[in-house]
Amino acid sequence: MVSNVRLDSVHNYFKFVVRPNFEDHFGNIGDLRTATNLANSLHSVRDWLLESPKSEMTSRFGEIAGSKDFQNKLEKECPSLALISDIANATKHMTLLIKRKRTKMSGASNLKPRGFGEGSYGKGSYGGPDIIIQMNNEAIFFDKTAKSVFSYWKNLLNELET
């Protein structure tokens, strides 16, 4: 564990919080704890960016009229951010409040392992270790969504550094 690290920039937050959560989750596929941690840290990058020097953000995104406006601009570039935001807010508040809703997701976070049941080998999960997000009759794979958002943040932060 690195003890002299300071979380004083979005770059350090990504390097010392988001990336380890990403690696932890993909080393433990199907783990709801790591999925929740990853979703929350991916969602929080937006807030860290909002606290970055304003000139960096306005040169990249134009004028930003608060966090909702910024979220809308980010979602135009990375639509998966909407779902990550809903998962993060639902897991933080136990249920997704309508005023925070970005997608068709409703209620609880709807994160769950692909399947669980009882068969000839006893009780356990089936259908693979993937975590899915159930929205109406649609099953969305969490890992694909998280990878998309992670890549977006990684590329954006690299672009802002140069």
Closest CA relative to residue 23, chosen from 155, 150, 159: 150
Average pLDDT over residues 69-82: 93
Model pTM score: 0.80
* φ, ψ (nearest 5 deg) of residue 107: 75, -135
**Rounded Cα gap, residues 109 and 83, in angstroms:** 10
Give the residue with greater pLDDT, 71 vs 31: 71
Q: How confident is the model at residue 113 (pLDDT cuts 50, 70, 90)?
A: low
Q: Bigger pLDDT: 86 or 7?
A: 7
Q: Which residues does 130 contact at the CB level (< 8 Å), separation at least 6?
A: 29, 30, 113, 114, 141, 142, 143
Q: What is the pLDDT of residue 97?
A: 47
pLDDT of residue 54: 82
Domain ranges of the chain: 10-161
Q: Is the pLDDT of residue 109 over 50?
A: no
pLDDT over 60 at 150, yes or no:
yes
